[in-house]
Homo-oligomer: A and B are copies of this chain.
């Protein structure tokens, strides 16, 4: 990996492409043609290089996607006016991250990679942890609380967008549909009762309600 501020003249063959150029070009491809069109060869061609050359600037494709996400976050994640009340501040901070992430559907492949810990997201993490501490949680429980919020948020996005993707590229009945069709009302009465409304209920966006519940639960002394 290149050293940005080498004290002396750079050693070795001078690079013809940079990590920034790779990321920028990748972003352009993703923006205009979707993440499905982003392949290493295609990206290399666009840059005027070879696929393997990219691997000197990016560890692998997954890292490239993480960098893209970082880049995306840095460009679009605005810091909103947060409410003064700490509990509400937590909710708004988490919801803002959630909204930003939900807006880029190609995120799933990356989201599972790690905590979302791009530099631009750290501020939101700070707000959440700080809010939890201000509400009376000791610091380590605040960190645990943040993690719970992150699990919930990441899970919502991953499950939801994958389900959506599956729906678009496949018409056959899903497991869920089959399972509900064969459902035995005497053994699973509640599910039988709501079976008809399951799909629409599931389609509703209830992220915020769940988030509020979670935050409330985290803050209620046990």
Contacts and interface: CB of A to CB of B under 8 A. Distances in A.
A55 interface: no
A208 to B, nearest CB: 11
A156 B152 CA distance: 8
Contacts of A142: 190, 194
Interface size class of A (residues with CB under 8 A): 35 or more
A125 interface: yes
A198 B114 contact: no
How many copies altogether? 2
A148 interface: yes
A183 B122 contact: yes
Contacts of A212: 217, 222
A158 B154 contact: yes
Interface of A: 59, 66, 70, 108, 112-115, 117-119, 122-123, 125-126, 129-130, 133, 139-140, 142-145, 147-148, 150-156, 158-159, 162-163, 166, 172, 174-176, 179, 182-183, 187-191, 193-194, 197-198, 201-202, 204, 206, 209-210, 212-218, 220, 222
8 contacts: A117-B179, A123-B187, A129-B191, A143-B197, A143-B198, A147-B206, A152-B155, A220-B220
